[in-house]
Amino acid sequence: MAITKKEFRLDGGATWLNLLATRGRTFGARPVERLADTADLDRWLAASGLAPRSPATPADVDAAHALRAALRDLAMSAVEGRDAPADAAALVGRAAGAVGRVGLDGAWGVTGLADVGEALALVAAGALVTLAGPDRAHLTECAEHDCRWVFLDPTGRRRWCPEPACASRGRVRAHRERAARTASA
């Protein structure tokens, strides 16, 4: 089943990777924006377990887009084995520094998130933990040319992201390439 515009991917292995998926088919001709407005950002934060006390503002949507772009730069650099872009690393570091008094409630929920900035700070902090630690080696890029979503794959065996459409397109393409090679041989 293909993801529609307003559905969110929450299967990337980490919240910050799920934020990357709020812009689908980023590298294709028609990217899909899933955080188009404040209501979308509020819904994504709630679905991610990071709903703050105050609702999102248009400036928060802009901040989420900027954080997402910086995180994408860092994720792509990590999977390609390149050094992290300094501007992206600085933006994520500044965002992570905005964590206020946040804790856990008795049911493993986050408490104390006053605003969207603090929620995004937790997302950024999670990215820093992944990118600076051993989980960086488990980051994998979807092989579909228009997707290229980065997700965690501790098995090291996946070629496509968890989206069934990517795997289906990839398998069909691989089958056609094999059939063409066989026919020309």
**Model pLDDT, residue 162:** 78
pLDDT recorded at residue 5: 52
Question: d(Cα 5, Cα 128) in Å, to the nearest integer?
Answer: 28
Indicate the burial class of 10 (C-beta count within 10 angstroms; 0-12, 13-18, 19 or more). Answer: middle
What's the token pair of residue 86? Answer: 């300094």
According to the model, what pLDDT value does residue 76 have?
96
Distance CA 26, CA 19 (A): 12
Closest C-alpha to 170, from 157, 182, 179, 161:
161
CATH number at residue 171: 1.10.3300.10
pLDDT values of the chain reduced to their tens digit, one per residue, 185 residues: 445 456 898 999 999 999 999 998 888 788 899 999 999 999 999 999 999 999 999 999 999 999 999 999 999 999 999 999 999 999 999 999 888 766 767 777 777 788 999 999 999 999 999 999 999 999 999 988 888 999 999 999 888 887 777 877 767 777 677 777 888 87
Tell me whether residue 132 is in a domain. yes
Does residue 152 fall inside a structural domain?
yes
Residue 6 lies in a domain: no
Domain assignment present for 1: no
Number of domains observed in the structure of the chain: 1
Per-residue confidence (pLDDT) for residue 184, from 0 to 100: 80
> What's the pLDDT at 52?
94
Q: For residue 105, what pLDDT is reported?
A: 74
pTM of this structure: 0.86
Closest CA to 138 of 129, 2, 147, 169: 129
What pLDDT is recorded for position 17?
A: 97
Distances (CA, A) of 7 to 2, 69, 84: 10, 20, 30
Enclosing domain of residue 96: 15-184
